[in-house]
Structure 1
Amino acid sequence: MAASKQVKMEEEDGAKEKEDVDSKEGHHSHQFRVKFPNDNVEYTVYCNQACTVLEAITSELNTPFMMMMMKKKNCTNNNLIIQMDEVIVATHFPCSCIVKDACLIIHCKPEEVEEARDHDKVLSRDKYSVFCISKDGGQFAKTRKLFKSNTVKHFSYLCVYAKKGITVKEALKEDGRFLDLQDFELSKIEDSKKRTLCTQNIDDLDGKKFKICLYQTPSRANRQANSKQQVQQKQPSASEKSQQNAESVLHRAQQSEISVRRPMESTFNGEVSEWFKHLEEWVTSDSFATMLELRKEDFGKVQQSFSEIDRLKMLIEMGESVCLVKINVFGAENEGTGFVLYDNFVLTNAHLFKVCAGLKRDRWKDDVKITVVFNYEKTNCESKKELKANVWDGNDALDYAILELDIEKHSSNQTTEETEVPPGLLSNFGPSPGDGEACLIGHPNGGVKKLDPTCIIPKEKREESVNQNLEGYSDYILTLCSINQEIKKCPNACVTYNTFMFHGASGSPVFDGHGRVFGLHSGGYFYDFIKPNQSVIEFAQPLLTIFRDFMYKLRESSNRKQLERIEEEAKGNPYLQQILEERIPNIGIEY
């Protein structure tokens, strides 16, 4: 009897203790602020019950929240992004983990950002490990898709929480915004050599920032090994290649046209599908046939390279750094293309600023209005991002200009998403490829971003290419001769090719088949009097030559800060590091 009474008392004590714990975790009191896009009003949310951040917002701010949702078509909770300073949190993020008096900005996106999921009971802050994952991938993950939606890459970090005791892999799966990654590691932002395996516990990750690193797959390793061999070995010129295989290679190239169309008929996600539509148009166009005849041996390989899904995804991701450049001087306008060099610096062509001729250089900052537009990939695109810029440096002889984006001017009245600049391409600079593969990404005619695969025309083939493009116009023999003479004057260093992108595409980056950026698309030789808006051949300035000149300018000006940043970007790139070790002469006319 006494024993039974003792057991009953212990059960009551245990229940009371559990009730006290639940009460402690269920009831708390704190507050945070909430803003909605395009609204300067800040609302205060008073939270006195453990719940998710979205539950707290909808219970306290139901009317303004529903008004925002109604303005956006087909917007559900899974389309929401909740921004907290430089990080974004999931809708099921515990309110107990929100910093006191933090300001949250609620965004509604046209696509699903996180997967719907049932969340566990919200616990007190000490029961969770909260850490941040960078939008940028680490080793072997820089060009891989890591998130369900690319929209999250407009922000610096994704803030992840999970109950202590589970693994990193489980935490990211429960988050709902990450793809189902198999094997990966986390590298610390401040020291990339310090790694955490995906199978390890998250308890020690609290308050830290990481990048996702993947393992090198055999296919990727083989591609890199082949790439290194191509750099080390001297490539044979077009004239040295055997002509005996022309018919068989042409047959393979024509068959590869079918292999390009086949995956295009399959259904796969948005961006790649859009790029393939353009690729299909190009394959069936006249320029395809012209290029096939021009370089029968090389073109089959080029088309096959850029029809690989993995390479297209890589180019699309790197293409996020490409932007439309708009210039306005007292109502006189000009448009071109540019791309992020590093940080908030954009590289484009100097000749775009001919519209400023006659205006004194010291008046440019006040009178030359430069707008840089990112994410312009669809007509009436809501996600496009416009930033103001100023000319920072340049060289007329090499036809390049470096723009500095005026981020601070925008930061006071725009969100992090609206002012964040895509990653730069400087660390991917390289030489003109020996295999002839090339691909341009730009904004021809000031329109939406487009991609054009092509192949390099060697110097000894330039005249032949021009004659083929002008075939049928023998009545203009004197003009054709003068065009050929001008093209012969084109510096040996320039890279030539055929592309549909000329008007408005000046400043476009030219990529090789392995993700290196080797050229700055600068123009072409036109014959408007014969065919309006047509060019016989186009060319690019080598980026390594531009980089060498830029380094000279920085050293002359003793700009230590920018030199240190560039040295950091150049780490791991043998082409840039070699130039940094050179004694560099000045080239041409400075700005």
Structure 2
Amino acid sequence: MKARRKETTGSPPVSELLRTEFGKNTDSFTLVSTVRTLTELSESVCFIKAGSVEGTGFLLFGNYILTCAHVVEKILTESQPVSADFKYEKPVKSLEPLAVKPQIVAYDRKLDYALLELDQGSAPLPPALITRLGVPPASGGVCIIGHPSGSAKKIDPCSVIEFEEHQDKKCQKQCRVQVITRNSFEELRDGKRLSYNTCFYDGASGSPVLNDKFQLVAMHTGGYWYQLWTGKTQNVIEYGTHVTVILKNVLQELFRVASENPERLAVLKMLVEDACRIPVAREILKQSVTNDLQRYELLKGMTDRSSLLDELLNECEEENRMELD
């Protein structure tokens, strides 16, 4: 953290560089009411410990938390126990971590996400953030809530970095050695990631990223580095994976697993019921089912003929009919 803010000879402080080049479009995060809302939403964010690895996660739906795949990979390789602590808000860790079941519910290494099930017993859980699902902004302010460097829960308002700004020549002049390559920019431009500048790095992977309407838009995943003239490395572009992209993949995985193992239908049904109530999630679910007879039949078996799911399936059936005509 200290290295991040230290001035380097012959160049302005990095904080000044970022402020000048990208701006701090975060005026919407100054009202007391905004701070209060963010504090309430932070209750759904948890500190994750997987063996010696620490990270962040958040309650997505039901008793299922979302985090980065690289945070919990040891579940797969070494059967390490994992815990989630929603109350680590002071320098001293709380004594109330919840156990995480050893099986990963859904997982994708390329998108770098893992969906885990809490073994919470009768412990009450905070609100699920899927109810806040929104579309990532092209510009403006976002806010990240997490546990950087394994610290107590923190909130960082920061600004979205638009693609054109990634390749700014002034930024390139400050960098002696570029770890950020053209391929890096193309990866950020693939429509699956939101980039921004934040002081969060180690330990913050899995943090929820919210827009200025308090909507969940991304999950903090990582960043790209460049090297200063002094030889020190510096994070300049951090990014998160769009939660809409993750949700689409989670549905795909749960459909596959549920079709092979009926015992997993309960997880799919829980997610589907929540998705039907949220416009953005509902559209993703609809796209996942339209023109897929197997998924359609799987969901049809969950309806009670008066539910929101039944309405969605009727729409899918109508669209399929129109395409055939």
Number of the residue aligned with 1:342: 61
Q: CA deviation at 1:491?
A: 3.9
Distance in 1 between the 2:289 and 2:184 partners?
28
Provide closer, same or farther for how the CA distance between residues 549 and 472 of structure 1 changes in structure 2, counting only shifts above 3 A. Answer: closer
Contact preservation (8 Å) 1:376, 1:449: yes
CA deviations over 1:42-87 (Å, ceiling 9, x no partner): xxxxxxxxxxxxxxxxxxxxxxxxxxxxxxxxxxxxxxxxxxxxxx
> In structure 2, how many angstroms separate the alpha carbons of the residues matched to 1:288 and 1:303?
15
Q: Distance in 2 between matches of 1:368 and 1:381?
A: 20
The counterpart of 2:250, out of the listed 508, 528, 550, is 550
> What is residue 159 of structure 2 aligned with on the other side?
455
Equivalent position to 1:388, from 95, 99, 106 = 99
Report 1:272-287 matches (<5 A). none
Q: Which has the higher contact order (CA 8 A, sep 6+)?
A: 2
Q: Counterparts of 1:433-452 in structure 2 under 5 Å?
A: 433-452=137-156
Aligned length: 269
- Residue-by-residue CA offset, 1:397-446 (whole Å, 9 max, x unaligned): 111001111224xxxxxxx5xx3222210121111124422110110001
Q: 2:26·2:140 contact (CA, 8 Å) conserved in 1?
A: no
Judge conservation of contact 1:315–1:515 (CA < 8 Å) in 2: yes
1:326 matches 2:46: no
The residue that corresponds to 1:570 in the other structure is: 275
Aligned residue type for 1:534: Q
Q: Which structure: larger Rg?
A: 1
Which shifted more, 527-536 or 558-567?
Answer: 527-536
RMSD: 2.6
- Contact between 2:149 and 2:203, CA under 8 Å: does it hold in 1? yes
Match 1:379 to one of 87, 91, 100: 91
Which residue does 2:214 correspond to in 1? 515
Does structure 1 conserve the Cα–Cα contact (< 8 Å) formed by 2:251 and 2:288? Answer: no
1:305 is the counterpart of 2:3: no
Distance in 2 between residues matched to 1:340 and 1:348, nearest whole Å: 9
| 295 and 334 in structure 1: CA distance in 2 versus 1, 3 angstrom threshold | same
The answer to whether the 8 Å contact 2:194/2:241 transfers is: yes
The structural deviation recorded for 1:584 is: 6.4
Distance in 2 separating the partners of 1:432 and 1:373:
27
Q: Determine the structure 2 residue equivalent to 1:397.
A: 110
Structure 2 vs 1, CA of residues 452 and 564 (structure 1 numbering), >3 Å: closer, same or farther?
same
In 1: Cα distance, 2:146 partner to 2:173 partner = 28
Which residue of structure 2 aligns with residue 539 of structure 1?
239
Distance 1:523 1:562 in 2: 28
Partner of 1:420: 124
Give 1:316 shift: 1.0
> What is the aligned partner in structure 2 of residue 48 from structure 1?
none
Identity %: 29
Distance 1:312 1:457, change over 3 A: same
1:339 and 1:346 in contact (8 A); partners too? yes
After TM superposition, the structure 1 stretch with the greater mean CA deviation from structure 2, 344-353 or 526-535, is 526-535
- 2:57 and 2:66 in contact (8 A); partners too: yes
Q: Which runs of 5+ in 2 are unaligned?
A: 6-12, 259-263, 291-325
Q: Quick check: 2:93–2:152 contact (8 Å CA) kept in 1? A: no
Q: Which residue is equivalent to 2:203?
A: 504
Match of 2:20 in 1: 293
Matches within 5 A, 1:211-222: none
Alignment deviations for residues 78-124 of structure 1 (CA, whole Å, 9 cap, x no partner): xxxxxxxxxxxxxxxxxxxxxxxxxxxxxxxxxxxxxxxxxxxxxxx
TM-score (norm: length of structure 2): 0.75
TM-score, with normalisation over the residues of structure 1? 0.43
Are 1:314 and 2:37 counterparts? Answer: yes
Structure 1 residues 528 and 406, CA gap change in structure 2 (3 angstroms)? farther
